[in-house]
Chain A
Amino acid sequence: EDQVTQSPEALRLQEGESSSLNCSYTVSGLRGLFWYRQDPGKGPEFLFTLYSAGEEKEKERLKATLTKKESFLHITAPKPEDSATYLCAVQAWTGANNLFFGTGTRLTVIP
């Protein structure tokens, strides 16, 4: 059964304090791994897709990496506007187009 575990559940950082969020996954044939950002009361916003181990993607202060068992979302010198819940999702080759989501990491960046 496909499974996605995100850690930590919540993270508080001082502005400028870099850190990483973890997404561990078990899937029967990874087709893709996706990162989203979700602000309170809003729909998730797409950030990255990673397809193979060793792949990296960057966007502003965010960098996503992928291994065969987990993905990391690195946040460099975060700002208060980076505060949000970050969601990880996997897609298997056997599951049509379905994405299977983790429960997210709630990030708070303190000025």
Chain B
Amino acid sequence: SQTIHQWPATLVQPVGSPLSLECTVEGTSNPNLYWYRQAAGRGLQLLFYSVGIGQISSEVPQNLSASRPQDRQFILSSKKLLLSDSGFYLCAWSFAGGPDEQYFGPGTRLTVT
């Protein structure tokens, strides 16, 4: 069976500091990977998705970036955090080629102060 991990679970960072969130998937090969952000009272917003190593598509222009250095590893980064970056960050995976449902990790709660 497949498992998805995210860390850290919670993070409090000052404005202007860097960010690195990590996501790993076990039990499957070449998954599609996704980063979402969930703000209070708003739906999940897709930030990045990847269909393979080094292949990243950005959905929303912002000060965040993503990388996929290994097949089952997805990293979300920022060089300088903004207050508006606060939120609940979720990583998800789906099978390459279908079915299309996405499976989510436990999430990281980021508070920028």
Contacts and interface: CB of A to CB of B under 8 A. Distances in A.
Our verdict on whether A and B bind, yes or no, reads: yes
Interface of A: 4, 31-32, 34, 36, 41-46, 49, 87, 89, 91, 96-104
Consensus secondary structure, chain B interface:
strand
Interface stretch (B12-20, B42-50, B63-71, B74-82): B42-50
Interface size class of B (residues with CB under 8 A): 20 to 34
Given A96-B57, A98-B46, A42 B102 contact: no
B102 A99 contact: yes
Q: Which 6 A-B pairs have the closest CB atoms?
A: A43-B104, A101-B43, A101-B44, A103-B43, A44-B104, A43-B107
A87 B44 contact: yes
Given A97-B32, A97-B49, A31 B100 contact: yes
A103 B32 CA distance: 24
Contacts of A49: 99-101
A4 B57 contact: no
